[in-house]
Amino acid sequence: MNYQTPSLRSELAQWQESLATLNEPLVEEPVPDHVWQAITARIEPPQLHAPEKRSFWNWLRVTAMVCSLLVAVTLGIIYNRDDARYSATLLSATEQPALRIQAHDDYLQVELLTLAAVDPGRSLELWAIKPDGKPISLGVLPAGGNGRVSLSEDQQALLDTPIALAVSLEPQGGSPTGQPTGPVLYQGQLVAL
C-alpha cells in the first residue's frame, strides 16, 4: 500500500484519532447495587424462610414410628427366644443326609433334605434311641417331611440325655406295638448346640 496518497493519509489520521481513546487507561467505576442484586438473584435463588411447624400430625407420626419399632423389637425377642437346643442330621444307609431335626423346648422342627417316597398307607416314625438301645417313639413325621413334631414332658426329658434318632417305615399312623416294626431308613446323633 502506498501511504503517500493524500486521501489515504487523511483516512488513516481519522482512524487514529477515533481509536486513540482505546489506548487511554480505563477508569474503574463502581457497579451499582441493583446490578449486584440481579446477579446474585440469578446465581442463588431466594430461599423462603417459612416457620417450622411442629403440628400434631408430626408428633403423632414420630410416636407411631417409635411404637412400631418397640413392637418389632419385642416380637423379635419373643420369637427368637425359642432357639433350638439340639440338632441332628439323619443319614440314609448310603450316608446321604435325609432330614435335619432341631430340638426346641417342647417340639422338634423337621426339615426335609432328601427323602425317599413313602407308599400310601405308610408313615415315617421318629424314634429316640437311648444309650441302652431301647427305642422310644417321638411321633410320626409330618407328611412330606417338613413340619413340627410336638413332644410330651417325658419326651422332652429324653432330650437332656445322649440319644440317637432314627426313622422307621411303619403302617399308617405309626407302629401299632410301640416298637419299630419296619426297616430303619435314617439315623443320626442328637447333639447340643
For the domain bounded by 86-192, which CATH number is listed? 2.60.40
Amino acid 29 reads E
Q: What is the DSSP string of 63-126?
A: HHHHHHHHHHHHHHHHHHTS--SEEEEEE-TTS-EEEEEEE-SSEEEEEESS-----TTEEEEE
Entry pTM: 0.58
Domain positions in the chain are: 86-192
DSSP-assigned beta bridge partners for residue 169: 124
Task: Write out the chain's pLDDT in tens, 193 residues.
Answer: 555 788 888 888 898 888 887 777 777 888 888 988 888 888 876 666 666 666 777 888 888 899 998 888 888 777 666 577 888 998 988 898 999 999 988 899 999 888 777 888 898 999 999 888 889 999 999 887 788 999 999 888 888 888 999 999 999 989 999 899 989 999 999 888 7
